[in-house]
């Protein structure tokens, strides 16, 4: 299970052993004794987990247990503490008893540190490869190189995996106790679920030439028209859907300041008390208007980590 001190997808135990990525002899030998995570790119990158025990266990297989020739070359993820190398491949998932297909969003927060780190890294790499089949510089088709950690075209132009930095912020009023409030928004692009309305932290991509803190100021102002101050970094985690790094912050704002949403991005925004957030987390119905109840962010997200962090900070 995820630690309360770290976002759910910020946990890992693998030694990435980056110096091995350019050693073909070592990689060939390592593959023969490896543990392999199979991801299915035709099913949103799902993998197998073994359950229903809690926490679910990520299923890794031997190279000889793959059901067919993989759609990707083996991607070297790192070395376990026991010295066994770990790879990931894109392939049809094997048929194994007592297993089920699972998405990282669904189980990331339930996995132990080792499994969370393996799944997150593998899915991030898989999604990057799927979007970089051609060189942005030359337009030539690219091939996987360096054990999955780069792509190169026939001219030698090489590209490495990129992560898009994004900020996400829990805006609060700095009031202690159950009456303290946080400002959450309902994104205009989220699917509508009858009887429910999901609210989450405000977020957005960091633009070129901009610091993460400047992005916090800009995005909150653009999305809800509120000025923030006392911006404080909290934590970060990968969000490989397809390839972001979420930089989590907390920031203070005046709860009496008018909210002016940008309807292209935010459908609804409002302040919630600690009492309301605590009730929603406890499974109680918190009305948000129109007959809807409050739904909070998914458990694998850093958004819920930030909400819980603020909820517990009652001083």
pLDDT band at 147 (very low <50, low <70, confident <90, very high): very high
pLDDT band at 68 (very low <50, low <70, confident <90, very high): confident
**Sequence-separated (6 or more) residues with CB below 8 Å from residue 28:** none
> How is residue 151 written in tokens?
């792509």
Query: Do the beta carbons of residue 78 and residue 85 sit within 8 Å?
Result: yes
Query: How do residues 201-233 score in pLDDT, each as one tens digit?
Result: 999 999 999 999 999 999 999 999 999 999 999
Query: How do residues 74-131 score in pLDDT, each as one tens digit?
Result: 999 999 999 999 999 999 999 999 999 999 999 999 999 999 999 999 999 999 999 9
**pTM, rounded to two decimals:** 0.94
Is 2's pLDDT higher than 60?
no
Query: How do residues 239-285 score in pLDDT, each as one tens digit?
Result: 999 999 999 999 999 999 999 999 999 999 999 999 999 999 999 99
Residues 161 and 76: their CA atoms lie apart, in Å, by 14
Query: Do the beta carbons of residue 296 and residue 277 sit within 8 Å?
Result: yes
3-class DSSP state for residue 136?
coil
pLDDT of residue 53: 65
3-class DSSP state for residue 26?
helix
Is 3's pLDDT higher than 80?
no
Query: How do residues 9-63 score in pLDDT, each as one tens digit?
Result: 999 999 999 999 999 999 999 999 999 999 999 999 999 999 876 789 999 999 9
Mean pLDDT of 165-186: 97
pLDDT of residue 314: 60
Mean pLDDT of 149-173: 97
pLDDT of residue 5: 77
């Amino acid at each position: 299970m995820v630690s309360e001190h770290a976002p759910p997808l910020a946990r890992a135990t693998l030694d990435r052993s980056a110096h091995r990525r350019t050693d073909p002899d070592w990689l060939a030998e390592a593959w023969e004794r490896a543990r392999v995570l199979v991801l299915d790119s035709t099913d949103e990158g799902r993998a197998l987990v073994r359950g229903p025990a809690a926490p679910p266990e990520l299923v890794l297989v031997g190279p000889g247990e793959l059901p067919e020739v993989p759609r990707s070359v083996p991607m070297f993820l790192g070395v376990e503490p026991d010295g066994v190398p770990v790879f990931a491949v894109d392939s049809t998932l094997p048929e194994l008893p007592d297993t089920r297909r699972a998405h990282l969003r669904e189980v990331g927060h339930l996995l132990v540190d080792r499994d969370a780190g393996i799944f997150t890294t593998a899915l991030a790499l898989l999604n990057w490869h799927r979007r970089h089949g051609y060189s942005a510089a030359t337009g030539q088709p690219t091939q996987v190189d360096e054990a999955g950690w780069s792509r190169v075209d026939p001219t030698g132009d090489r590209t490495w995996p990129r992560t898009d930095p994004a900020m996400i912020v829990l805006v609060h009023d700095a009031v202690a106790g159950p009456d303290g409030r946080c400002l959450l928004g309902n994104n205009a692009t989220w699917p509508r679920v009858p009887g429910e309305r999901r609210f989450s932290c405000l977020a957005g991509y960091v633009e070129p030439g901009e610091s993460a803190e400047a992005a916090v100021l800009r995005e909150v102002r653009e999305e809800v028209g509120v000025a923030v101050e006392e911006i404080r970094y909290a934590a970060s985690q990968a969000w490989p859907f397809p390839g972001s790094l979420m930089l989590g912050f907390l920031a203070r704002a005046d709860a009496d300041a008018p909210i002016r949403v940008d309807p292209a991005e935010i459908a609804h925004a409002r302040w919630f008390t600690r009492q309301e957030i605590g009730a929603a987390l406890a499974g109680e119905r918190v009305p948000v208007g129109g007959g809807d109840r409050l739904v909070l962010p998914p458990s694998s997200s850093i958004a819920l980590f930030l909400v819980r962090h603020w909820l517990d900070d009652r001083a």
